[in-house]
Amino acid sequence: MIRIIILALLFSVLFGQSNPIDIGTVGARQLRMGGQLNISHNPATLGYLATIVDTDTLNTIEESVDSLAPDFSDENMEEEIIVENIVEPDTIDSEFAEFDDFEEVSEDTLSNDNEEINIEEIIEIAETIETSDVDESISIDLPNTNPQFSMSLFNLAFGLGSGSITPDWINDQLFGGRDLRDPDQKEKFLKGLSDDVNVQLPMASSLPIVNISFGPNVIGLGQVRSYTSINLPSGLTQVPFKGLPSGEELDLTDLKIQHITYLPVSYSRGFVLKPGIVPFGRKSYAGVRASLLVGLAEIHTENISGILQGTGEHTLIDTEIEINSSIPFKADGKFPGLSLSYGFGIDLGIITEIDDRLTVGVSIDNLLASINWKSGERYTASAAGEITAEDISEADSISDYLDQSEIRESVSYKTSLPMSIHLSGSYLAKDWAVLDANVRIDVGDTYWASESPTISVGSEFFPGSKVPLYLGISLGGHYGFSWGTGLSIKMGSVIMDIAGGQEGGLFNSATGMRAGLGLRIEK
C-alpha cells in the first residue's frame, strides 16, 4: 500500500495539468484562450480565424460590383457603341501589346464617359465568387483577435491541496516547538487531523515545441496531464498517535486512492457559423477537438472493506482492499516499466457575440472520453490482527503483527474521464479591463470530478499592454473558495506567463496552493 501511494505521488510531481493564465484567473477565462493555449479550453474560440460569406454577403458583393461598373443599359449601350466607343482594330493590338495576361493589368483602367473601372478590384472580387456555387459558403480571412501562429516553449503548473491542513496549523503544530508527549499539546495537534484528509495533486507540464497553432487549427502533442487524490477517513490519521479508545470503531470504506497520468494527442479546429443557426447574437462560432488519449499510468482503489476497533491497549484490524493498477507491481517492489494504453475523447464548443462587448459560450469536455488499460493488474490484499500505536509508528514491523494475504492477477480494464460542462461569458468593461466568468459542472464521480459546480470570475487588466495582469476568484468545487493572480511579460513575439494562487482560503488559512510558469511564442 505504501509503495502504491508513493508511486502515485511521484507521477504527480513529474507531470501536471493547466497553464499559468488558467491559474491566474482560476479557470474563468474559457472564451479568451487563443492559439496553442486553447488545447484544453472551448475550441470555438479558434473560430475567430475562420469565417464565411453567406448569401446576404454575396448579394452585397454583387451590389458593390454593380456600383463599380458604368450604366450599360440596353438603351444606352447601343448609342454608346455606335457613337463613342468604336475602336479601330489596329489600335487594339497597340494598346494592349505590352500585357501578356489580362490579370497583369493592375493600374490601368477602362474609360466610359466619366466613370472608371479598376481592373484589379474586379479581378479580386471575381476570384471570390463562383457563380455555380453562389448559395454555398466561401471562406475568407477577416481581422481576428487570435494569433495567426503560436507555439509553446515551456509550461509547468502544479497544485497541492490537503482538504483540511492549513499553513497556520503546520507552522503552529509542526514548527512551533510542540511537545507531543504533553497530552494537551498532543490534543491540539490532532484537532487539525480530526476530519477527512483529502490530498489532491493536480499537476502540469508541457514538453518543448510540441503545442502549435496556425490559423484556426491547434495541434497538441506535449500537454501531459496528471491527477492524484488520496482520501484518508476521519480519524485514521490519528491512529498512529493515540490508537483507538476501547470500543471505538473506524470504518475504512472512505479510504480512496486515485491517480491518472495521460497524454492527449489532439487536433482542434474552429469554425464560423452561418447567421441564424444561433437564434441570438450577431456572430457565432463553433469548435471541435478530437484527442487520442495515451495512458501512461493509472491506479485506483476498486473495493475497500473493514474496520479498525479499539480494544483497550490494542487496535483490532480486519480489512480487505482491492486495487486496480495499469502498472503491474513485482513482488520484490521493483518498478516494471510503463506499458502504454489508449483511448479517445471529444470536446465541443460554441460561442456567440452578443455585441461589441459581450460574448457567451458553452462547451463540453471529455465527451465519451475513456482509456482502455490493456496490461493491468488487480491486487487484492487482506490483513487481520492486533497492534498498538507504537507498532504502527514502526512501519517496518507492522507485518510482524498481522495475518496477511495477497492475490495478484492480470486484468484489462477501462476508466472513463469525468465529463465537464462549461457555461462561460466574457465582457469588455473598459478598454483596460476584461471580465470573464465560467460555471463548471462535472458529470461523473472519478478523478477530479466535483459534486458541486465551480463558479469562477476573473479579470484581465490592460489586455493590450506589454504586461497584462490577471486576477480571479472561484466558489464551489472541491475547496469552496479559491483565488489566483498572475501576469504576462511580452518581449516581442516571446511571452512569459507567471501565476500563483491558493485554494480553500486566504494566505495562512488556505488548504491548497497552485503555481505556474510558461514561455510561448505568438505572431
Range of the domain at 111: 55-136
Grid look-up 507521477 returns 11
pTM greater than 0.85: no
In a shared domain, residues 178 and 59: no
Residues 33, 62, single domain; the answer is: no
Final residue belonging to a domain, choices 136, 151, 177:
136
Under the phi-then-psi rule, with left for phi > 0, alpha for psi from -120 to 50, and beta for the rest, what region is 277? alpha
CATH of the domain at 439: 2.40.160
Residues 80 and 194 occupy one common structural domain: no
Candidates 41, 42, 25, 449; CA nearest to 227 is 449
From 136, 169, 196, give the residue that closes a domain. Answer: 136
379 CB burial (10 A radius; 0-12, 13-18, 19+): buried
pLDDT value of position 272 = 94
Statement to judge: residues 43 and 78 lie in one domain? no
Q: Could you report the average pLDDT of every consecutive run of 10 residues in the chain (523 residues)? A: 53 53 93 91 92 48 52 45 46 47 44 51 54 38 64 84 67 62 67 63 66 93 83 72 72 86 93 91 94 93 85 80 84 66 96 94 96 91 78 59 83 94 96 95 89 95 93 91 95 95 84 89 92
Specify whether 153 is located in the same domain as 84. Answer: no
- Count the domains in the chain: 2
What are residue 470's DSSP bridge partners?
A: 460, 486
pLDDT at 118: 59
pLDDT digits (tens, 9 = 90+) for 69-117: 444 444 444 444 344 444 454 544 544 444 444 444 444 444 444 445 5
pLDDT at site 92: 44
Distance CA 281, CA 275 (A): 9
Tell me if 411 sits within 8 A of 377, measured CB to CB. yes
My answer on whether 68 and 181 are in the same domain is no
- Kind of pairing, strands 223-232 and 315-325? unpaired
**Same structural domain, 67 and 191:** no
Residue ending a domain, choose from 88, 108, 136 = 136
Indicate if 30 and 64 belong to the same structural domain: no
CA dihedral 472, 291, 453, 426 (to 10 degrees): 40
Q: Is there a single domain that holds both residue 352 and residue 393?
A: yes
Domain match, 470 and 371 both: yes
Q: What is the pLDDT, as a whole number, of residue 414?
A: 94
Write out pLDDT tens, residues 55-73.
454 455 456 545 554 444 4
- 274 and 149 inside one domain: yes
Whether residue 361 is found in the same domain as residue 459: yes
Torsion, Cα of 273, 275, 276, 281 (10° steps): 90
Q: CA-to-CA distance for 302 and 415, rounded, in angstroms?
A: 12
Task: Give the pLDDT score at 83.
Answer: 42
Nearest residue to 205 (alpha-carbon basis) of 19, 417, 11: 19
